[in-house]
Amino acid sequence: SRYLLQQVIGYGANGIVYLAYDHHMQSHLAIKQLNIKNLTDAERRIQLNEALHHQYVSGHPNIITLDSVMEGGNCLFLAMELCTEGDLFEYILARHSPPNHLHMRNLFLQILDSVEYCHAKGLYHRDLKPENIMMFDGGNTVKLTDFGLSTTESWSFDLGCGSGFYMSPECCNPSTDPKVPSGYSPQLNDIWSLGIILINLMCGQNPWKQAYLGDEAFDTYLSDSNYLKKTLNLTDSFHQLLKSILHINPAMRPSISAIRAQITKITQFT
């Protein structure tokens, strides 16, 4: 066999990740095992989508490279680029001093590039969070991974899809207004998630537990336009950018290219 599984290095919601040795390339890589036995059709679709969608966008410098997909013994095996430096969540947690905002901005610009590339190919991630962004090159390069919840649909009815902290309000809260369509745009949901990731990078915290009506911090944000500025001690320019990304009306959120143009002009964040 080409690959030798050596040890378990991680557990995901959908499977186990192994450290493996590739005899052909004479190098190590990660192999993610996804169990496809005894699954509902919906669960099986998630597993297959993870492989197909990841393969579709593999090759961008800020997306984990997926080398091959194999099937056997009621499992899918995804052979992919090995990360030995952990994820962005761990990187943020390990900081002992105030963040270097210009370095954090550089990492965020790389995240923007990866998501823009996916969106340009008609793929929406729907689970953007620091845990799905891997670190490389001593903390200077980031790469997006885990496409298990991604979709090619431009409109979704999968409410509650993603991770609580990073989900948009329209993904969390079913519409109560008959004039507002139920469901949400996965593209604009991703934009919201990028805003929460940006707060994590620059401030080392989340602004609320969930953008859900009834979450005290989120409710305060809705009623007080300066809430983020006061609680996170933001500069005016950074506050204006965040308010636009985290606009309650998805149609008012900026494009990724507009976010890039704005953030490159900001030198002071807090």
Q: Right CATH number for 3-80 from 1.10.10.10, 3.90.79.10, 3.20.20.70, 3.30.200.20?
A: 3.30.200.20
For residue 192, the 8-state DSSP code is: H
More confident residue, 93 or 181: 93
Cα 189 to Cα 192, 226, 267: the distances in Å are: 5, 22, 27
Neighbours of 148 (CB within 10 A): 22
pTM across the whole model: 0.95
| H or E element, residue 50 | helix 41-57
Question: In which residue ranges of the chain is CATH 1.10.510.10 found?
Answer: 88-263
Strands of 81-218, DSSP E = 133-136, 141-144
**Is residue 127 annotated as part of the catalytic site, yes or no?**
yes
- Of residues 192, 103, 117, the one with CA closest to residue 147: 117
- Catalytic position from the list 67, 87, 127, 236: 127
pLDDT band of residue 204 (cuts 50, 70, 90) is: very high
32 labelled binding-site residue: yes
List, for residues 127-147, the tens digit of each pLDDT value: 999 999 999 999 999 999 999
Q: Write out the residue limits of the CATH 3.30.200.20 domain(s) in the chain.
A: 3-80
* pLDDT single digits (tens) 51-81: 999 999 999 999 999 999 999 888 999 999 9
Q: For residue 175, is pLDDT > 80? A: no
Q: What confidence tens digit (pLDDT) does each residue in 26-46 have?
A: 999 999 999 888 888 888 888
Domain 88-263 fold is Transferase(Phosphotransferase); domain 1 (1.10.510)
